[in-house]
Structure 1
Amino acid sequence: MAEVPALHGSTALWALTPTRPEARLRSVPAGRAARSAATFGPRVPRPSRGIPQAAGPAQPRTSMQRSAERPLSLTRRGRLVLVGLPIALGVAALILLGAFLTSQAQAGESLPAPAAAVEVSVAAGESLWDLALRYAPDRDPRDVVAEMVELNDLRSSVVQAGQDIAVPVGG
């Protein structure tokens, strides 16, 4: 046979083999040839490992018979769902329970008693601190000033002379 000259590049591999016709026919044993030549009917299942086959005509098996033959096996995803789903539901229940028990509505069960307030007209040079010391001497002046700002909807603690202010009194 004659060799074809070698070429450079991606087509060089075919050039190194001698040119000859390829055989397209192969021999098949007689039993196999008869079966493949027959009509393509339903396949007969091969016997499984470890499961004895009953002799005689095949009868359809029920799902109970199939499950009795082999034990239940779970995939990795199945095990993850079987274990992970209850854990996730438990964690979610704990979070909701914690949120319910620590909510603002539950935390403040009793409202503080409203303090009595007195309407006062601010004199020239007076501040909220001075009013707090005069009308609630037994309390911390910082708390009283904060209550006055909240009671009167003030934007700051600065007041003008002649302004009417509600001042909480007592303890």
Structure 2
Amino acid sequence: MVVTGMRRVDEPAPLRLTRRGRVVVLAFFILLASLASAVLWTTASRAENPPSGPAPTVVVQSDDTLWDIAARTDPVRSPHAVVAEIRRLNGLGDEEIAIHAGDTLVVPRTR
């Protein structure tokens, strides 16, 4: 074994990155971060967008009221809010209370 200076000849040299190597490593990490943020952004935007397809509807039964339909459709939310949304979706004014059996109403999507 030959010792020259501080390092033995049979030992591998320590890993050193050249300027080009540092640029490549930095570019790799930037690319990796960009891909990760793109995946997270598309996943988050899908969660915010409502599902596509036809809006859910319900056919009014003989003894139904808007309050009953609201409670059945979205039992988690306040019936006041759901009734207001049903009115808005179906173009019903505040003064229109009457709904009739056989009417088809668009109801809000449940979250």
TM-score by length of structure 2 reads 0.47
Q: Which has the higher contact order (CA 8 A, sep 6+)?
A: 2
| Larger fraction in helix | 2
